Structure 1
Amino acid sequence: MKILLKTLVAVLSITTLNACNANSKTEVIDLAISKTVIETPSISNNPEIKVALLLDTSNSMDGLIDQAKAQLWKIVNVLSYAKCEDQNPNLQIAVYEYGNDNLNADEGYLRQVLNFSDDLDEISKSLFSLTTRGGNEYCGKVIQTALTQLNWGNNTKDLNLIFIAGNEPYTQGDVSYKEASKLAHKNEVSVNTIFCGDYDKGISGYWKDGADLTHGNYMAINQNAATVHVASPYDDRILELNKKLNKTYVAFGSQGRQKKEMQADQDANAMGYNKANAVSRTVSKSSRLYKNSSWDLVDAEKEESFSYDDLDKNELPKELKGKSKSEIKSYITQKSKERETIQNAITELNNKRKEFITKITSDPNNGLENAMIKAIKIQAKKKNYKWD
């Protein structure tokens, strides 16, 4: 069963809800962090939407992975409008693969591909790096591992979600899915299960029971359904703006060049599906969730901890070599203004694009994106999230 697409995580809109609950008590267990895991610190006090995508990379799930890659940006775009008590939630996504013969048998044929991260380019790169090979799919084991390795925090306003997809019985492996479900419930993490195949077969394979035990959602989808991309008259203009947007990034530091190359690579991956998918990525890049303060001076300058005095002159891009602090600051200010103008233009064109698409098409009912949206709406409502 090829790649269980779990990678879709996140979200969707919900239109009426009040303000985030702060009444529920959260029990926190000690987290056993793997030596290879680097904990991502919270960059603000805003609530967070945390999604762990558990992807089966055994045989037969190529279609599901395709859906995940193609629909990632649509999901991100929806999440960018989320609100919780007038705060803008941050988005953190982690990715695991499991069920692949190439993975370590002693560790349950699973691997953490990406720890919780808000780097959308890293998330995209992780999805495109996955390959499939037949193996054993141990749902209980991978859920337990994600719960204990990842830092889920204890903020009652956070929306903590696991999405796991597959088409084999949910009961396989030495770790009972019921024990894993108890751990998820204890730590207020909802496990949403996506069975790739017949709805009733998924129920008999205990996928619904796994979701019910954690107050998550059970869904069945046709993983081989092709993602429908709708062209619009605004696509070319949005993609032209993407080229201009990329020119506003000022790479610095030891990772600057590498990260900017990754940005270009993920643009190419999105375009590899088709123009509409590349447009969705461009819209994501114009949203508040696309943050690159670790390597881009325009984003870094907005951080409270940033100081021009701390810049290593040896790690500046060539256009800023030998410049004074005031000259550097003036350059970054100009690039920031250019970016804001371009992002506003993209947003305006995308609003027209959405209106156009709404008039000529309707969403399918059994795709991954729709399944994720349904689940997020229900669980976001419990936390009283709402969308602009």
Structure 2
Amino acid sequence: MTTTIKISLLTLTTLCFLACNAKNNKHTENLAFNNSNKVTNTITASKPEKRYIKVALLLDTSNSMDGLIDQAKAQLWEIVNELSYAKCKDDKPNLEIALYEYGNDNLNAEEGYIRQVLAFSDDLDEISKELFSLTTKGGNEYCGYVIDTALNQLEWNDSKDDLKFIFIAGNEPFTQGKVNYKDASKRAHNKDITVNTIFCGDYNQGISGSWKDGADLAHGDYMSINHNKETVYIATPYDDAILKQNSKLNKTYIAYGNQGRQKIQLQAEQDDNAQGYSNANAVSRTVSKSSHLYKNSSWDLVDASKDKEFKYEKLNKNELPQELKHKTTLEIKTYVANKKAEREAIQNEIQELNNKRKEYILKANKENSNGLENAMIKAIKSQAKAKNYTWK
């Protein structure tokens, strides 16, 4: 064989080998890329979005509703506590509450005597503050109008896993106003929002006033309550111990930013508002503050540090409390970490005491007789079953 032929054959063999090897490498790369995509997709698919319980509370604030407003103030924290026990699979949902008042002559007549007191919020102190600001006067109660307004103004998620509720409470016929309650209730149902109606008065009178029909059209519950009945509190041997933990808990908050000073003052004010009703109500608020629903990342460094977007390096030293202004980033991290550990230990202690408290109350009072609280929790638990929510 000539030298030229040998060289040609060797070149051809080399080219074939390189082409084959390149093809194999390309196949390996594609396989790795596809597998990488599969892993990424699997991770994405297996991580569900955070679920929400959204509650829009529409309260009649006409002259005869002082008792209803008082119940809302006195029973807020027990309602929050019950919702903190909710689970969907292994997920503990977030809670957002919106607040409307209607039927008050102090409100704008052209807007149907309706006011959005608070849009959906997870700031429990702010919700408490707004509840305590409500006063009664008047009026003209337009139920269909206020339901329709809440549907239009609030940011309701499209997620099918969220629980979305409207609770409307009052004592005048459901039929008043220029917005037909039937249209409003049907709209709510089409948006996967359940309308629950609470008539403040005789059960049958509420039915004749179309309160039951308003709930039925949105697949909700109709209930009646004695809104003038005082809230029943059950004192327990664990109350004083829980309240002592509340004082310790407050000392773990690290106020920062423009809102810090005002928000920590608001926290103290809502402690006082709860205490103004009774020790038991203050205990209920303390339990709420030990749950995952009490979050203050907008002004508290401990809560803020839990957010993925939070960066210690971006903190403005001028907005820090005095004890942190001249510390290094590492020293600030250590300080926050210590406060976080301290808070978690206190919250765990409160939860353990609360478990004993709940057992004591259950034995002393097998049935919750508090009007607004009982009506709301009963409806929420019943309707949540359809979306696989459970209570621990």
Bucket of the pairwise TM-score, normalised by the shorter protein: 0.7 to 0.9
- Does 2:153 align with 1:149? yes
Distance 2:347 2:286 in 1: 9
- Does 2:342 align with 1:338? yes
The worse-fitting range, judged by mean Cα deviation, of 184-193 and 370-379 is 370-379
1:68/1:252 CA distance change after superposition, 3 Å = same
Residue 130 of structure 1 corresponds to 134
Offset from partner CA, 1:167-220 (integer Å, 9 cap, x none): 100000000001111210110111000001111000000000000000000001
- Counting only pairs closer than 5 Å after superposition, residues 293-312 of structure 1 correspond to structure 2 as 293-312=297-316
SS at match of 2:63: coil
- Does 2:331 align with 1:313? no
Offset from partner CA, 1:265-309 (integer Å, 9 cap, x none): 000000000000000000000000000000000000000000001
- Does 2:96 align with 1:96? no
Structure with higher RCO (Cα < 8 A, 6+ apart): 1
- Does 2:70 align with 1:74? no
Maintained 8 Å contact 1:58/1:101: yes
More helix by share: 2
Distance 2:246 2:368 in 1: 29
Offset from partner CA, 1:129-168 (integer Å, 9 cap, x none): 1011011000010000000100101000000000000110
- Counting only pairs closer than 5 Å after superposition, residues 271-286 of structure 1 correspond to structure 2 as 271-286=275-290
Residue 368 of structure 1 corresponds to 372
TM-score when scaled to structure 1? Answer: 0.87
Residue 194 of structure 2 corresponds to 190
Residue 13 of structure 1 corresponds to none
Residue 69 of structure 2 corresponds to 65
4+ residue runs of structure 1 moved beyond 3 angstroms?
none
TM-fit CA distance, 1:365: 4.7
Residue 38 of structure 1 corresponds to none
**One-letter amino acid matched to 2:70:** D
SS at match of 1:163: strand
- Counting only pairs closer than 5 Å after superposition, residues 9-88 of structure 1 correspond to structure 2 as 45-88=49-92
**One-letter amino acid matched to 1:236:** D
Distance 1:365 1:384 in 2: 27
Maintained 8 Å contact 2:143/2:177: yes
What are the ranges of 5 or more consecutive residues in structure 1 without an aligned counterpart? 1-43
Maintained 8 Å contact 1:211/1:217: yes
Maintained 8 Å contact 1:222/1:366: no
Distance 1:361 1:105 in 2: 44
1:215/1:97 CA distance change after superposition, 3 Å = same
**Match for 1:242 among 238, 242, 246?**
246
TM-fit CA distance, 1:364: 4.6
Maintained 8 Å contact 2:50/2:93: yes
Distance 2:381 2:334 in 1: 43
TM-fit CA distance, 1:78: 1.1
Maintained 8 Å contact 2:82/2:377: no
SS at match of 2:99: strand
- Does 2:198 align with 1:200? no
**One-letter amino acid matched to 1:78:** E
Residue 296 of structure 2 corresponds to 292
Greater Rg, structure 1 or structure 2?
Answer: 2
SS at match of 1:193: strand
- Counting only pairs closer than 5 Å after superposition, residues 102-121 of structure 1 correspond to structure 2 as 102-121=106-125
Distance 1:141 1:277 in 2: 33
Residue 223 of structure 2 corresponds to 219
Maintained 8 Å contact 1:220/1:366: no
RMSD: 1.1
TM-score when scaled to structure 2? Answer: 0.87
Aligned residues: 345
What are the ranges of 5 or more consecutive residues in structure 2 without an aligned counterpart? 1-47
Distance 1:190 1:252 in 2: 39
Distance 2:122 2:273 in 1: 19
Maintained 8 Å contact 1:101/1:136: yes
Residue 177 of structure 1 corresponds to 181
1:364/1:82 CA distance change after superposition, 3 Å = closer
